Structure 1
Amino acid sequence: MIDFIEVHNNSASAKIALQGAHIFHYARKDEKPLLWLSEISDFEVGKAIRGGVPICWPSFGMNNSDLPQHGFARTSEFKHLATNEIDANTTEVILVLKHSKETLALWPYKFELELKVTVSDKLTMELRTTNLDEKTFKITQALHTYFSISHISDVRVKGLDKKPYLDALTNEQLTQNGDIVFEKEVDRVYQEVNEQILLKDKDRTIRIKNEGSSSVVVWNPWIEKGKRMSAMRDEAYNDFVCIESANAFDDFVEIKPKNSHTLKAVIS
């Protein structure tokens, strides 16, 4: 079993694993969880949790063949720096990962990666990368958020109309027309995103607002791929949609020595 931090205040509750600084539960008081978590997910050292908010860093997808898919942060042990009770409704948790002999063998740069999680009536995630090296490096990254939904047929994603996207299944560059609905596998990287995104379900609307990025990934594995995925029931694709706050493809980040970049997502 991996170690985790549990937060309760007057607004909400959350659980954050030290491995991967992985938020795997967030719910406002007396409401259903906002995040989806697989009932059969592994909570084992070295295995990524299926659901919640995995951190993909310093590489998102398979952009760097020398690194594990989605990078090494999601299975690395973060250090708990602080938990601050801002007020009765707001709690802040800060976790940090620094370069080590193991990370330098995978990725030859010195860095500090800090996640600040603010648990209130909103869930705020701020992922800050600081370059501690003497040379510039590039990163792609994502807060790979799994949202809990009533049923895949009941949801639509608003706020991406007319946005260009890469269809990762066909490698085509296309333009979104209207809302996104789910009737098959969807794996798309939207670009030029600067508006709030809405995930409309039959009984609630989830709002996602990003800063420090202009790309968003929308993903659902559907039936066949869902059956092939680890730590997930065959029918689980009905229960979640991933809307991922990202710096992907052309939206990569170049960080000079002693400089920082913050990817921020606010979910409400």
Structure 2
Amino acid sequence: MPTPDELATAGLRTTVNSTCRGAALDLGATVTSWQPRGQRDVLFVSREALVGIDDEVHGGIPICAPWFGRGRDDVDVPRPHGLVRWVPWRLVEDTTSDAATTLVWECSGDEVAHLPGADAYPSDIWFRHEAQFGETLHLSFTTGSPSTSFVLDEAFHCYFAVSHISDVVIDGLAGTRYRDYTDGAAWHDADDVLRIHGHTDRIYDAPGNVTITDDDRIIALTPGDAASTIVWNPGPDGARSLTGWAGEEWTQMVCVEVGNVQHRAVTVPAGGSHTLSLDVAVRPLG
């Protein structure tokens, strides 16, 4: 795990209230923990996670924007998953009531201008992220530009902790189609439910609610203004090749992400903005 000094440098924020414990980093405005009262943590973070400025944090809920993955089919990008996860954000609000804690961060175009790929987006682009830790975890990511319209790919890259991947059932994707990036990005029709048996990398045209059933609990995702659901697990071979990841941990997590990516990317008008939101809830099984 990252050392206390490394976490401090990454801007670790922790919170405790009557409903949950939570944690986040200023680096990427990345939520790293949400543990409802009486539950184990809902989020997974690799025990070998790296949290430096140039590191991809494997765990929690990084934000991918203004592009996702390796970009859209017709766009070349210099590194995966955008600009905002690679820089510290400014915390502008930190409020706690008895039942909830709200953290709000902001990031400007100037703060990402040095990164490769930033010149493809308006220089006055701005980002705002709100995370509310309570009985549910509420996330709200907003971006815009006062002067220029732009195409936005975005996602909450959620890593969820599970007892064992073989016990997991993902529901809510039936009746949709997906691109399978383990099969040359070919399109397929979704099964009624999804079980993970190894390397999985799919983008679903699925704007609705999704549930993740583990051996003892159900994690429920309710997105807002999202048209894509991404399901990812590195499998054993991929896990061994990742930096900042313990190889056997692929059985302890699943990424179920929500956003607007590939042909579902959104156009943000000049002077306007777009907000992606997500509510995460957990309840016992049975």
Q: Same fold (TM over 0.5)?
A: yes
Query: Could you list the per-position Cα deviations for residues 84-123 of structure 1 after superposition, in whole angstroms to 9, with x for gaps in the alignment?
Result: 22x3101111001101175266323121110000110101
Distance 1:213 1:118, change over 3 A: same
Matches within 5 A, 1:74-113: 74-85=85-96, 87-100=97-110, 102-103=112-113, 106-108=117-119, 109=122, 110-113=124-127
Offset of residue 195 of structure 1: 2.5
Q: Quick one: which amino acid aligns to residue 79 of structure 2?
A: P
Sequence identity (%): 21
Higher mean displacement: 137-146 or 44-53: 44-53
Q: 2:212 — aligned with what? A: 199
Counterpart CA distance in 2 for 1:51 and 1:75 is 14
Q: Quick one: which amino acid aligns to residue 94 of structure 2?
A: T
Structure 1 residue 241 corresponds to structure 2 residue 254: yes
Q: Quick one: which amino acid aligns to residue 102 of structure 2?
A: E
Distance 1:13 1:252, change over 3 A: same
Secondary structure of the 2:247 match is coil
Counterpart CA distance in 1 for 2:187 and 2:69 is 17
2:174–2:193 Cα contact (<8 Å) kept: yes
Structure 1 residue 35 corresponds to structure 2 residue 43: yes
Matches within 5 A, 1:111-130: 111-130=125-144
Secondary structure of the 2:113 match is helix
Secondary structure of the 1:235 match is helix
Could you tell me which runs of 5 or more consecutive residues in structure 2 were left unpaired when the two chains were aligned.
Answer: 1-5, 282-286
Q: 1:53 — aligned with what? A: 61
Q: Quick one: which amino acid aligns to residue 39 of structure 1?
A: R
Q: Quick one: which amino acid aligns to residue 111 of structure 1?
A: I
Counterpart CA distance in 2 for 1:103 and 1:161 is 41
1:59–1:67 Cα contact (<8 Å) kept: no
Query: Could you list the per-position Cα deviations for residues 126-161 of structure 1 after superposition, in whole angstroms to 9, with x for gaps in the alignment?
Result: 0001213x2210110110000000001000100101
Counterpart CA distance in 1 for 2:28 and 2:198 is 30
Secondary structure of the 1:226 match is helix
TM-score (norm 2): 0.89
Secondary structure of the 1:147 match is strand
Q: 1:151 — aligned with what? A: 164
TM-score (norm 1): 0.95
Q: 1:212 — aligned with what? A: 225
Could you tell me which runs of 5 or more consecutive residues in structure 1 were left unpaired when the two chains were aligned.
Answer: none
Counterpart CA distance in 2 for 1:101 and 1:200 is 39
Counterpart CA distance in 2 for 1:67 and 1:266 is 31
Runs of 4+ in 1 over 3 A off after TM superposition: none
Q: Quick one: which amino acid aligns to residue 169 of structure 1?
A: T
Q: Quick one: which amino acid aligns to residue 52 of structure 1?
A: G
Secondary structure of the 1:40 match is coil
